Amino acid sequence: MNTKEIIQLQAHLQTTFSNDAIKVLKRKEQFDSVEVNVGQEFIGVIYKDIDEGETSYQFHMAIIEEDLPEI
């Protein structure tokens, strides 16, 4: 992804979640996706998809069971 897309994605996430600590970062050797961090904590990956000329972005976030609170 290019710099403009990264800036746009970061601004969208920061506005949507009211959180300026969200950062979108380039990945080493990966050009179709970027990392998403909150502060220093990695939380997921955004993938770029182009289908029939339409661009969309998919955010993937894995949550492991041990991180879930006890209820």
Domain ranges of the chain: 3-67
Supply φ then ψ for residue 11, to 5 degrees.
Answer: -60, -40
pLDDT in tens, the chain (71 residues): 999 999 999 999 999 999 999 999 999 999 999 999 999 999 999 999 999 999 999 999 999 999 899 99
pTM of the model: 0.88
Sheet holding 41-51, edge to edge: 22-27, 30-38, 41-51, 54-60
